């Protein structure tokens, strides 16, 4: 199905090798720059997968309103794809997340309903409140719940990401590491890597401040998009070789170093991913390859604590 000009710009993002931040004697570190997608994040891949399938299968029709609770990246992607497909979009958002993400959703014509946070923190309680509001809205006629935590089309949307990496590196990947929100990116990318013949070790990442996967204990943190739910719906723990934590302040410091030293401009989860990727590369040594993802574009975080 032909969808429209902007949608054809999703995917085929650059894959770059870190040149200066990786110490001598370490493995190569490659970073997929997903900020190059139209709304500046890899969520564009899942939005077209979810809404394209829903439209093709008649679960939603032009004029209906798509609903999701979101930290803003998924919301921006759903707002963008909904606009092009002739759908309306309502986001349940919070003031715990970047205001620029709210503005981006509104730029694509979305309605944004804001749940108030406590002390600026992203917490499990906040996520549950946002979810309940999204569910009650989506229960009304003419509304469609995008279901970023349950739809099988979410994970499928990231398969091309893995295939693109495998093709660019001719399959030679020793470790793939990425931070986990729903787990869809980690698992969908792995599906794509495997479909192209790869079999990397897989390392899941999370902030030390909310080490849910490692300890089961949630905490307040500021790395947007990750470490909120105790059981990420798409994560298959059996495929993991390891789970690692990174301090959020180290992740944010890495964001600034990435921007100033390598010219890679990403958000907090990007800094977290690259911190762990470099550590893994040092442990692996020369002749090996670590791949990770720059999840979204740093311009989404201007005015927040990462860059100011």
Burial class (CB in 10 A: 0-12, 13-18, 19+), 134: buried
* Closest approach of ligand PLP to the CB of residue 98, in Å: 10
Name the residue among 6, 260, 231 with its Cα closest to residue 108. 6
Each residue 87-126 as x (binds ligand PLP by CB under 6 A) or -, in order, gives ----------------------------------------
**Under the criterion CB under 6 A, does residue 74 sit at the interface with ligand PLP?**
yes
Q: Which is nearer to ligand PLP, 65 or 269 (CB)?
A: 269
Shortest separation between residue 227's beta carbon and ligand PLP, angstroms: 9
Q: Is 65 in the site for ligand PLP (CB under 6 A)?
A: no
201-207: strand order across its sheet: 15-17, 28-33, 289-294, 175-179, 201-207, 240-246
- Judged by CB under 6 A, does residue 264 bind ligand PLP? no
| Interface pick for ligand PLP out of 55, 180, 202, 278 (rule CB under 6 A) | 180
Residues in Cβ contact with 229 at an 8 Å cutoff, skipping those fewer than 6 apart: 124, 127, 149, 181, 182, 212
Q: How many residues does the chain have?
A: 308
Which residues have a Cβ under 8 Å from the Cβ of 199 and sit 6 or more positions away?
A: none
Identity of the residue, 180 or 211, whose beta carbon is nearer to ligand PLP in the bound complex: 180
- Map residues 212-241 to x or -, x wherever contact with ligand PLP holds by CB under 6 A: ------------xxx---------------
- Hey, what are 141's tokens? 């006629």
Give the total of residues touching ligand PLP (CB under 6 A). 18
Helix axes 184-195, 159-168, angle to 10 degrees: 50
- By CB under 6 A, name the one of 182, 208, 222, 248 that touches ligand PLP: 182
Q: Which of 13, 185, 208, 292 binds ligand PLP (CB under 6 A)?
A: 185
Exposure string for 52-70, b = 16+ CB within 10 A, e = fewer: bbbbeeeebeeebbbbbbb
Given CA atoms 42, 44, 48, 54 in this order, what sign does their dihedral have? Answer: positive
Kind of pairing between the strands at 28-33 and 289-294? parallel
Choices 6-14, 50-58, 107-115, 176-184; region in contact with ligand PLP by CB under 6 A: 176-184
Smallest separation, CB 114 to ligand PLP (Å): 17
Q: How many CA atoms lie within 13 A of 23 on its CB side?
A: 11
Residue in 49, 73, 94, 208 binding ligand PLP, rule: CB under 6 A: 73
CA pair distance 113, 90, nearest whole angstrom: 7
Select the residue interacting with ligand PLP from 82, 98, 269, 292 (CB under 6 A).
Answer: 269
* Distance (Å, whole) CA 215 – CA 213: 6
Q: Which of 29, 54, 60, 295 touches ligand PLP (CB under 6 A)?
A: 295
The single residue among 11, 267, 271, 298 that binds ligand PLP, judged by CB under 6 A, is 267
Residue 260 Cβ, how far from ligand PLP at the closest point, in Å?
Answer: 20
Shortest reach from residue 170's CB to ligand PLP, in Å = 26
Residue whose entry in the numeric block shows the structure tokens 């091309």 = 160
- Residues in contact with ligand PLP by CB under 6 A are 71, 73-74, 179-186, 224-226, 267, 269, 295-296
């Amino acid at each position: 199905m032909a969808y429209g000009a902007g949608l054809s710009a999703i995917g085929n993002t650059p894959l770059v090798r870190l040149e200066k931040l990786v110490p001598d004697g370490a493995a190569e570190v490659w970073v997929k720059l997903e900020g190059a997608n139209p709304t500046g994040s890899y969520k564009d891949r899942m939005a077209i997968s979810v809404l394209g399938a829903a439209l093709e299968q008649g679960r939603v029709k032009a004029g209906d309103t798509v609903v999701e609770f979101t930290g803003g990246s998924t919301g921006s992607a759903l707002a963008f794809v909904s606009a092009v497909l002739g759908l309306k979009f309502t986001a349940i958002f919070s003031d715990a997340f970047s205001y620029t993400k709210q503005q981006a959703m509104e730029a694509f014509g979305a309605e944004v309903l804001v749940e108030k946070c406590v002390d600026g923190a992203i917490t499990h309680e906040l996520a549950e409140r946002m979810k309940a509001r999204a569910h009650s809205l989506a229960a009304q006629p003419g509304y469609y719940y995008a279901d970023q935590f349950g739809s099988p089309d979410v994970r499928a949307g990231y398969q091309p990401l893995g295939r693109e990496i495998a093709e660019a590196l001719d399959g030679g990947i020793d470790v793939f590491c990425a931070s986990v929100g729903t787990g869809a990116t980690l698992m969908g990318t792995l599906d794509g890597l495997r479909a192209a013949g790869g079999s990397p070790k897989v390392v899941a990442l999370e902030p030390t401040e909310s080490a849910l996967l490692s300890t089961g204990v949630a905490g307040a943190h500021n790395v947007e998009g990750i470490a909120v739910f105790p059981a990420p719906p798409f994560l298959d723990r059996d495929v993991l070789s390891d789970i690692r934590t990174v301090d959020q302040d180290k992740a944010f410091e890495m964001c600034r170093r990435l921007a100033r030293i390598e010219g890679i401009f990403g958000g907090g989860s990007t800094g977290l991913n690259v911190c762990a990727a470099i550590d893994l590369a040092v442990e692996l040594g020369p002749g090996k390859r670590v791949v990770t993802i720059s999840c979204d574009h740093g311009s989404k975080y201007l005015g927040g604590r990462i860059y100011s």
